[in-house]
Amino acid sequence: MNARTRRGTLITLEGGEGAGKSTVLAALRARLVERGIDVVVTREPGGTPFGEAVRALVLDPARGELCAESELLLMFAARAQHVREVIEPALAAGRWVLSDRYTDASYAYQGGGRGQPLARIAELESWAAPIKPGLTLLLDLPVADGLARAGARSEADRIERETEDFFERVRNAYRARAAADPERFRVIDSSQPVDVVRVAACAAVDAFVDRAGEFR
Ligand code: Z5A
Ligand 1 lined by 113 (C-beta under 6 Å): no
Ligand 1 pocket test, candidate residues 21, 29, 57, 202, most atoms within 8 A of CB: 21
Query: Is 60 exceeded by the pLDDT of residue 168?
Result: yes
Query: What is the reported pLDDT for 159?
Result: 92
Question: Could you read off the pLDDT of 25-83 as tens digits, one per residue?
Answer: 999 999 999 999 999 999 999 999 999 999 999 999 998 889 999 999 999 999 999 99
Ligand 1 lined by 190 (C-beta under 6 Å): yes
Ligand 1 lined by 75 (C-beta under 6 Å): yes
In the DSSP assignment, the letter for residue 191 is T
Residue 39 CA to residue 89 CA, distance in Å, equals 12
Residue 159 CA to residue 166 CA, distance in Å, equals 10
Architecture of domain 8-212: 3-Layer(aba) Sandwich (3.40)
Question: Could you read off the pLDDT of 198-211 as tens digits, one per residue?
Answer: 999 999 999 999 99
Q: Is the peptide bond before 45 cis (omega within 30 degrees of 0)?
A: yes
- pTM of the predicted protein model: 0.96
Query: Is 60 exceeded by the pLDDT of residue 2?
Result: no
Confidence grade of residue 1 (pLDDT, cut at 50, 70, 90): very low
Please compute the mean of the pLDDT values over residues 154-177 and round it to a whole number. Answer: 93
Query: Is 70 exceeded by the pLDDT of residue 214?
Result: no
